[in-house]
Structure formats: structure tokens, C-alpha cells
Structure 1
Amino acid sequence: MFPWLAFGHMLPFLDLSRRLAARGHAVAFVSTPRNIARLPSVPPHLSGRLRFVPLPMPRVDGLPEGAESTADVPPGEDGLLKMAMDGLSAPLAAFLADAVAAGRRPDWIVHDFCHHWVPPIADEHKVPCAVFEIVLAGLVAFMGSRGAHTAHPRTTLEDFTVAPGWYPFPSTVAYRRHEAGWLAGTFRPNASGVPDIHRFWQMNERCRLAIYRSCDEVEPGMLALLTDLFQKPSIPAGVLLPPPDLGGDDGGVRPDVLRWLDDQPAKSVIYVALGSEAPVTLKNLHELALGLELAGVRFLWALRTPGGMSDSGTGADDRGVLPDGFEERTRGRGMVETGWVPQVRALAHGAVAAFLTHCGWGSTVESFAFGHPLVMLPFVVDQPLVARTMAEKGVGVEVARDEADGSFDRDGVAAAVRLVMVDGEGKVLASNAKKLQEVLADQERQERYIDDVVKHLRRYHICVL
């Protein structure tokens, strides 16, 4: 298992690794030393079948000292990290050669979206490759194959604001103009020298099959489209919901955020979290804060300031990014936590009624487990498509944004929060979210998806041999 150097990728890869190890398969999880050190520990009963393999992180001029993941560099500045990752090709080749020489030839290498150089190395040792796509499957379909782009070229930003020409069904899920620059940017070389779309196409053309963190219950028809689009099996792994046992080990001390939630009425709090890598600005955070204040509802905000965010130095209190007096004015009904928040346990708490999210696929999946309606504030990558997909399903509403530049204000935040938490429409969203939870919380069905992944890996490995 070889994920991209981002925790939003490493954690789902580790989750899939655990599920495969629990079925008796030996798994080697490959990453860099500092990333491995920051990952959750493996349960003792799986430690004999799941091992970590650290590869030395190459030094790259301009990459901050000790940077080994996207969490260590400013948002959007991951080109040098991709260059460093490309430098892992020699250590990976050596590890694979040693394994083969020792009679431990891997049955598969499961890699990520940008590892275009892995299949040629694997081919030298007759080891098949599969890609594990941890993003919304709809993003992969929206990006399309090389052949699809040849038949339906996209040359302007407006081309990305409508469904692709290769979709065989009608769809309103697309980027808005202010969001389309991200996808258009994948066609241009970054600091690594290789455009992301070229990595994506080469990787998809060389791998034997694709595994998706999705299923037909969430994205009906999308897996069939992907199989046709890339001319190889597209296998759903299910959504990899968090485990049902959320008791956690507090070491005898219950986290402050959970104790605060304990004191709130049932279904009265909106949980707010934009992740740690969303490209937010100081103005974004101010408008979000003032919108929460204006909405007048209870909130728990897991505030993590992304690295590299510029601070104008005006209007911020001692917390650095909050408007002057914000915490004083909202004391009693709001809590801002700048440290670590056990997100799954917060979402599971009975006081939480809704989730204000950036629509990262991992966070969105976590919300599925608890049937929360969403207030959506997407920024980049698959987040806008996740937001449109969830809106189509009737489980969330987006914060209104300026169509030209993507800006939003406190009034838009307050309106979206009140719609979900106070207005009658929020009850409809909550009901739809609960129905989706009931479908996805079928543990037996989700486990069957993993079993089906194993069956495909066995079947196609035999075909390769």
C-alpha cells in the first residue's frame, strides 16, 4: 500500500490496509519515516500482518526542512512535495527487488493517484498494480480518460462548469467558474515538472484495476461509467465508515470539547470544521466567525489555521485569526478549539445536530455515519463536486458565494446555518441525511464491498500470472 503524502490519503489507505489484514492478508504500508510516526498505531491483533515500511524522504531544494506531507507545506504548494515523492522511486525499486529476491514477491501494489512511475517498476518484477482512489468517484469521472479528452477537449474555464461530454446521463454536478481554475491547473506543469493530469492518465493507463472509496448507494451509476471510461474494472470498497465503537481511550481524562458537548441540549449544536489544509484566508475566517455569531445557534468550531495563511495583523484577537471580541460575545453558546478535536466522537455526540464542512470526502463520509445534514463550504479538488452531489441528494445546503471570485460573507453563512438548524427546510435535510445513514450503516453490506475487492484482487492476479 503506497499512498500520496497527505494524511487525507494515508488514513483511508491505512483503513483499507487494516481491513485486508483482518481478512488474513499480509500488508506492507509504505511511506516516509515522519509520516509513519504520525499515523495511528495498528491494533495488536493485526500487527503480525500489517507492517510499516519507511522509505527515506529525498531532499529537495525549497522544500521546508522535515516536510514529508501536505500538512507540512502551505496549501496549494505541493509541487515540490511531488518532486520529493518522485525521488522515492529508487528506494521503492530497491525494496521491491529485495522482497522478490527473498521469495516475498507482492501479489499487488496498491498506489495512489499520482504514482505514475510505480507501474513500470512493478512490471519489471511482474507485480500488478491497482489504484485506490480515496476521493469522490465522480471527480475521477469528471477528470476523464485521455481518450475522452481527445474526443471532448476542454480548453476554457467554462468547459469545466458543465458536465463532461462523455457522461451518458444528465448531471448538474460541475465546478463553478471560480472553482474551475484548480482542475484547469492540473493540465499545467507544477514544481515537480509533471502536470497532475499526466500523472493521473499514465497511472490509470498502466494499472490493472481501480478501487474506489464509494458505492452505488452514494454515487449511483458512477462505478459503471468509470469501468467503461477507463476500460478496466472499477471496484467499490464501500465508504469505509468509522468503526461503531467510538468509546475511545481518554487515558482517564475526557477531552474538553466532549465535556462541553455533554453540557449542551440534545441536537442543538452545529459542529464546524474546515480541515487543516483548506486554502482559507483571514477574511474567510472572520466572515465565518461573524456568520456563526449572527446565526445565533450553538456551535463547536474545530479551528485549525492552515500553514502559510497570511494575516493582515488587523482585527484579530489573541487567538490570532478570530475577530475582536468574538469569543466573549458567543461565550455560553459557542466553543472554539484550536487544538486537536476527536472529530468522529464529536460528530457522534448526541448534542450535535449538523456539520459545517469544507466537504473533504473523508469528513463527508464521517458525517454519513451519524446522519447529520450539512452546511457546505467547499474550496478545491473534489470538494465542490462533493457539495453538489450532497445537495442533489438533499442532505445539505451550500453557503452562498460570489460567482465571480468565490467570496462569501457573514450573511450567507448565517442564512445557511439557520436554514439547516432552525428553519423547516432543515428538518427535510435531516430526514434525508438519516435515510442515507440507514443505508450506509449496514455493516454487513459495507464489509461485503471489501470482500468483493479481495475477490477481484485474487481473480485479476491469476489473470496476470
Structure 2
Amino acid sequence: MADSGDIQTQPHIALLPSSGMGHLVPFVRLAATLAAHNCRVTFITTHPTVSLSESRLVSRLLSAFPHAVTPKEFHLLPLDRSTANSKDPFFLQFEAIRRSAHLLSHLLTSSAQSDPPLSALVTDVTLASAVIPITHDLYIPNFILFTSSAKMFSLLAYFPALVGVTLSDEINIPGIPPLLKSWLPPPLLDQTNLFTTQFIENGEALVRSDGILINTFESLEPEMVAALNEGKVINGLPPVIPVGPLVPCECEPERGESSVIEWLDWREKGSVVFVSFGSRTAMSREQIREVGEGLVRSGYGFVWVVKDKKVDREEEEGVDEVVGGELMERILKDGKGVVVKKWVDQEAILSHGAVGGFVSHCGWNSVTEAAWHGVRLLAWPQGGDQRINAEVVERSGLGVWVRSWGWGGIGKVVKAEEIEKKVREMMGNEQLRVQAAQVSDEARKAVGLGGSSHRGLTGLLDKLQNTINSKHAV
């Protein structure tokens, strides 16, 4: 790349995330990674956000990189919710951003005329069909960041071909092993659902992008990455570039988490189970109390993140009310567990040597963080892409998936006895511990100098750099 001291030749990349921490966190990590590669970054922030956690994370990013990352505010038009077939606040926010996308033209034009000029826009996949036409009109290269697994991306790319088709129990996508219908995000089974219409439109738009960045690495999903780039899944896809795992940056931790870390400092290596089902998963009180009882019975120390509201702004009741006073008394009495009811610095917890296992919903950020730190997983998908991700976890050797537990919150309540048994099995599985450590080694090689993800990202930046240089030479 060109001389790092020459600001005129710095690639200038704008990032446009959508909604929810699952989508925002990878964009924050990509921003930090690009800044480390001497890029100028414009971070487009939507107003309003759905959750407090999103607002706080963006603020911390901007504070951590005051010179390399510049904010641009994108004020959304009000959304008439009666015109959108969904009650999910995050899907509705996707739609609000999409319907406001035409307002991006002025914002991007001002960035394109900045110094250095805008080299490319990286767009969240949920916004692809609304944003790509705008960047095409402005002659700005548009790259998609896919924030889940390559396996899930294969479904997105192929799904438009399934529109109007009665889905069988087994879905055959060219070039990859079959997917089961029961693994699909539940909204996809209703083609009138807002998520489904967005999913189809964005899947159709992929071929019009300039490239696909995926937060995965080749050795985790070798068959998927190869099938996508060899044109087996669909013809005409632009290059699919694994750039993961996107590594956590120093801007992420929230203050006030020291008590959990201090508690972990007193625990034996690998003796603690971390339990968290993500920033969007709201469990029933009955299921929460079965989880707590199962953890207590397992005999292992645990850090447990409790959540019974989908949006953190709506969280009002304390831990005792949600978990139950009697159960909390038992947890506190024996000192073997810590229960928190707020956004936690998950990466700091997973990186702690005392943590030996992770009971997770298999949101992709959680999977990549577990892979990075070599922490084995007990997969309990709760919705969305999480069953497909759980299959990736199991196939890679990073963890195990209890298929009989079904979707969290749908159907049966998983009893404490089952949870106790599976936690013990995971924590006692030495082979699984070794396999998780091997996955961690591969993840670190991928982003290290000369690794597959490092080559993919630097190759992209070199192309943008060459375009800049050729324009200067004219």
C-alpha cells in the first residue's frame, strides 16, 4: 500500500450498520480493523437507535478513534408500523432505515467530496437492496458485510429461488450439504412476514454488489466459502471474502463489569460456565428459573446473564424479581454463581481463564468470540440464524448442539434436570476442550500476518488503493 503518511492516498471507507447489537458489533470491529490498516473511516449512525446498548457502543467507538473514525448522523423518517407486517422492533428498524435510504444520497455525496474522497461504502446485508441502487447512481463501490456464518449466507443467496416453492423437510442448495427446513429462521416460513420480504429482496441484490465480506474464516467453513466462490450456490456472485473473526477492540467494554471479573479471578482455571443468550433473546420466567436450577445442580461455578425483555430500554425489574427470590438466595448462599441483568463485556468474560464452557444461543458474534478464545459451546438456539450457526459449531468441533431442546421460547420448557446433565457433559468433555483450542489456533492464524482473512482484507484495500492511485495519475 501507499506511504502511510500521505493522507491523499488513504482509502476512505464509509460503514453503514443496521439495527441491533448483533449487527452493530461487527461493524464496530471492522471500523477498528480498518483504522489499524491506515484507512479513514466514516461511521454512519442512525437516529434514533432501538437500544441503549447500541448508542453507548457507538459513543465508545468514536471516543476510542477520534482521528481515524468520523461520525455521520443519518436521521430516519418516522415509520408507520401499520404498514409493516412485523412487531419485532429490530425488523421494524431495518425497514425504517430502508425507507429512509434515499436520504443517504446527500450524506454520501458530501463524503465523496471529502479529503480524502470516499473510496467505498460497506453496507449491512439487511439494507442491501435499498442502498445498492443509491451507491450505483453515485458511482461509489458497495461492499456488503454479512454478520453471520457463510452457511447462513448460502441460504440468503439461494433463497430467492425458493420463492413460491413448497419447502420440503430437506432443502438442497447446490454445492453444500442439505439444510433442514426446521433449521430455518421461523419467519422465513411465512412469505408475507416483513423479515422474509426483506430477506428475499436483499438476497436478490447480492449480485449487484462489488463484494461480500463475511465475518468467518476459511478453516471454520471451508466447504461453504469454496462453494460460494466457485459459483456453485448461485452464478454471478461477486467475490466472497472471509475477513473474520473480526477481533474485539478496546472500545467495546462497558464500565461496571469489574465485579464479574474479580469474581472470576478467584475461580479455578476452566471451572466456570458462562451462560448468555444474546442481546435480543427474552426468555419466559418459567424457563429462566429452570435454567437457574439446572446451573445450581450442575455443581459448576457460573456467570449467568438474565434477560426477559427484548429491548433493554424496557428492562425495569431487578434480578430477584426475574429469577425468583428463593433461587437467588441459594445462588448467593453457596457463592458458586453470579447473576447479572444488563449488557456485559462478553469478550472479557470469555477471555478469562476461569471460563471453560459457554451455554449460548449461537448468535454469530458469540460463536466467533468463543472460537477466538477456544471456549467450547453448548448450543441452544433461540431464533433467527442460530440453528444454522449451531450446525456450523457442531461440524467444526467447537461445541455440541442439543437438537431436542428445540427453539427457545417455542413449545416445551427445557427442565432443570436436562440442563444440569448437558452442562456436566460439556464441561467434562476433554475432547471438546481440545477441539475448541484447535479452532482458536486456526482463528488466530486466519487474522494474523499472511493468514487467509488478513490476505482477503489487505487484498481488497490494495484494490481500492490502486483505484485511488490511478485517479491521481490521470
| 2:328 counterpart of 1:327 | yes
Distance, in Å, in 2 between the alignment partners of 1:147 and 1:336 is: 43
Aligned mate of 1:391, from 394, 404, 410: 394
User: 1:210 maps to which residue?
Assistant: 212
- Cα deviation, residue 12, structure 1: 0.8
Partner of 2:79: 60
Deviation, structure 1 residue 463: 11
Q: Counterparts in 2 of 1:26-65, with a 5 A limit? A: 26-35=40-49, 37-38=55-56, 39-42=58-61, 46-62=65-81
Equivalent position amino acid for 1:10 in 2: L
**Which SS does the other structure have where 2:388 is aligned?**
helix
Alpha-carbon spacing, 1:105–1:174, altered in 2? closer, same or farther (3 Å)? farther
Q: Label 1:75 to 1:394 Cα distance change in 2 as closer, same or farther (>3 A).
A: farther
Distance 2:200 2:465 in 1: 29
Q: Of 149, 167, 190, which aligns to 2:174?
A: 167
Name the amino acid aligned to 2:263: W
CA-to-partner distance for each residue in 1:370-400, whole Å, 9 max, x for gaps? 2111111111222111111111222212245
Counterpart of 2:192, as a letter, is R
* 1:241 paired residue number: 247
- Which whole-Å deviations, capped at 9, do the CAs of 1:283-318 have from their partners, x for residues lacking one? 321221222123222111122332379x9xxxx996
Corresponding position: 1:155 with 2:166? yes
Whether 2:115 is the aligned partner of 1:94: answer no
Q: Structure 1 residues 7, 105: CA separation in 2 closer, same or farther (over 3 Å shift)? A: same
Residues 148 and 461 of structure 1, relative CA distance in 2, 3 Å threshold: farther
> Hey, what does 2:94 align to over in structure 1?
82
Match of 1:224 among 191, 208, 226: 226
* Cα contact 1:400–1:412 (8 A) shared by 2: no
Q: How does 1:296-311 map to 2 (within 5 A)?
A: 296-307=299-310
- Distance in 2 (alpha carbons) for counterparts of 1:367 and 1:188: 35
Residues 222 and 299 from structure 1, CA distance in 2 versus in 1: closer, same or farther, beyond 3 angstroms? same
Task: Read off the aligned partner of 2:421 and give its amino acid letter.
Answer: A
User: Is the 1:270–1:300 contact (alpha carbons within 8 Å) kept by the matching residues of 2?
Assistant: yes
Q: TM-score, normalised by structure 1?
A: 0.82
Whether the aligned pair in 1 keeps the contact of 2:367 and 2:393 (CA below 8 Å) is: no
**AA partner of residue 50 (structure 1):** V
- Picking from 136, 143, 155, the partner of 1:142 is 155
Distance in 2 (CA, whole Å) between partners of 1:75 and 1:283 is 23
**1:180 CA drift (Å):** 5.0
Q: Distance in 2 between matches of 1:209 and 1:3?
A: 16
Structure 2 residue runs of 5 or longer lacking an equivalent are 1-14
Check the 8 A contact 1:370/1:437 in 2, yes or no: yes
Equivalent residue, structure 2, for 1:196: 198
- List gaps (5 residues or longer) in structure 1: 64-73
Q: Secondary structure at the match of 2:201?
A: helix
Letter in 2 for 1:215: F
Conservation of the 8 A alpha-carbon contact between 1:122 and 1:129: yes
* Distance in 1 separating the partners of 2:121 and 2:138: 11
> Is the Cα–Cα contact under 8 Å of residues 319 and 341 in structure 2 kept in the other structure?
no
Q: Distance in 2 between matches of 1:100 and 1:319?
A: 52
Deviations for 1:121-153, whole angstroms, at most 9, x for unmatched residues?
112211121111011111010233367437xx7
TM-aligned CA deviation for residue 459 of structure 1: 6.8
Alignment of 1:452 onto 2:459? yes
Q: Return the offset for 1:349.
A: 1.4
Aligned length: 433
Question: 1:269 touches 1:297 (CA, 8 Å); kept in 2?
Answer: yes
| Offset at residue 33 of structure 1 (A) | 4.1
2:188 corresponds to: 183
- How far apart, in 1, do the equivalents of 2:59 and 2:377 lie? 27
Q: Are the equivalent residues in 2 in contact too, given 1:210–1:235 (CA < 8 A)? A: yes
How far, CA to CA, are the matches of 1:249 and 1:103 in structure 2? 33
Q: Given that residues 212 and 238 in structure 1 are in contact (C-alpha distance below 8 angstroms), is that contact kept between their aligned partners in structure 2?
A: yes
> Can you list the C-alpha shifts for 1:5-43, whole angstroms capped at 9, x where unaligned?
222212211211222222222221112245574225347
Tell me which moved more, 131-140 or 45-54: 45-54
Question: 1:136–1:214: 8 Å Cα contact kept in structure 2?
Answer: yes
Q: Percent identity?
A: 22
Taking a change above 3 Å as real, the CA distance of residues 266 and 99 of structure 1, as seen in their structure-2 partners, is closer
Q: Which moved more, 1:53-62 or 1:257-266?
A: 53-62
User: 1: distance between equivalents of 2:405 and 2:65?
Assistant: 49
1:43-67 CA-to-partner distances (Å, cap 9, x unmatched) read: 778432321111113222459xxxx
CA distance in structure 1 between the partners assigned to 2:318 and 2:66 by the alignment: 46
* Matched AA of 2:275: V
Report the aligned-residue RMSD: 3.4
Flag the structure with higher helix content: 2
Q: Secondary structure at the match of 2:404?
A: coil
C-alpha change, 1:374 and 1:87, in structure 2 (3 Å) is same
